[in-house]
Structure 1
Amino acid sequence: MTDPSPYMPWRPLGDGPTYEREQIWLPQLAAQAISSGNPLIDGKTFIDCRIEGPAVLLPVDGCDFDACDMGYAGGDLRNLLLRPVGPQKVIGAIAFRNCTFRRCVFVAVGFTGSPAFTDNFLTVLGGKAS
């Protein structure tokens, strides 16, 4: 009998720039980007993907969410959001820049960003911005 591998049995996702009908585990996508020297996910397009956490997604700049299911909110869209306390950085979130999400489903993913982002998120999805 062989010992179980200490590594996750995930297949590499590839470099994109387009992912279509993929099941994407966000921690894996972030780890692949970081191991390639990229501190964030940049210039990618996700179409009809299932994007899974647990994770917190930070759209830094130029991200578009079109016809996406943002995930289970437990009856209150604000449950999907985390507001940063510091004015400059968010540590531990997975940052995205210039990315497009079309018809994606998010599972166990929270979202964070500037007050303008979180207010817009709630307004667009029919929640109440604070």
Structure 2
Amino acid sequence: MTDPAKYMPWRPLGEGPTYEREQIWLPQLIAQTMSAGSPMVEGKTFIDCRIEGPAVLLAIDGCDFDGCDMGVTGGDVRNLLLRPLGPQKVIGAIAFRNCTFRRCAFFSVGFTGSPDFIDNFLTVLGGKAS
């Protein structure tokens, strides 16, 4: 039998609550979070981290982004955003609640959340709010 850890390109992430100068692959983070029994990333702080997708980050209550590079926009900040069509859920996105991101760099990550979150995101990054 082969050793599965030999083929895992990422080392296991710690449980936090603070991650500093870490490379965070979001599919791995949510897989580890769900394996620990939680459906969302909650109460974590990310400082100077490289946060990678492909993924869509669903910002629920209390998420703060301070001095972050939100990623390549292709000239239009709206390219980073997805508006949920349903009023109750977003299936397939990685949910974050009460998390802080300081000076993080996002790569291949889209963002979604409430209409207020999306409008604030656009306003802060110089796009047009609806």
Q: TM-score, normalised by structure 2?
A: 0.94
The equivalent residue for 2:92 is 92
Using the TM superposition, give the Cα deviation of residue 10 of structure 1 relative to its aligned residue in structure 2, in angstroms.
Answer: 1.8
The equivalent residue for 1:36 is 36
Q: What is the rounded CA distance, in whole Å, between the counterparts of 2:35 and 2:116 in structure 1? A: 31
Amino acid aligned to 2:29: L
Using the TM superposition, give the Cα deviation of residue 9 of structure 1 relative to its aligned residue in structure 2, in angstroms.
Answer: 3.0
After superposition, residues 52-71 of structure 1 pair within 5 angstroms as: 52-71=52-71
Root-mean-square deviation over aligned CA pairs: 1.6
The equivalent residue for 1:103 is 103
After superposition, residues 1-130 of structure 1 pair within 5 angstroms as: 5=4, 8-130=8-130
Unmatched 5+ residue regions in structure 1? Answer: none
Q: What is the rounded CA distance, in whole Å, between the counterparts of 1:55 and 1:101 in structure 2? A: 16
Q: What is the rounded CA distance, in whole Å, between the counterparts of 2:70 and 2:9 in structure 1? A: 27
Deviations 1:43-85 (A, max 9, x none): 0000000000000000111010000000001000000000001
Determine what percentage of the aligned residue pairs are the same residue.
Answer: 80
Amino acid aligned to 1:109: V
The change in CA–CA distance for 1:3 and 1:12 in structure 2 (over 3 A counts) is: closer
Q: TM-score, normalised by structure 1?
A: 0.94
Using the TM superposition, give the Cα deviation of residue 8 of structure 1 relative to its aligned residue in structure 2, in angstroms.
Answer: 2.9
Q: Give every structure 1 segment of 4 or more consecutive aligned residues whose post-TM-superposition deviation is greater than 2 Å.
A: 2-9
Using the TM superposition, give the Cα deviation of residue 3 of structure 1 relative to its aligned residue in structure 2, in angstroms.
Answer: 6.2
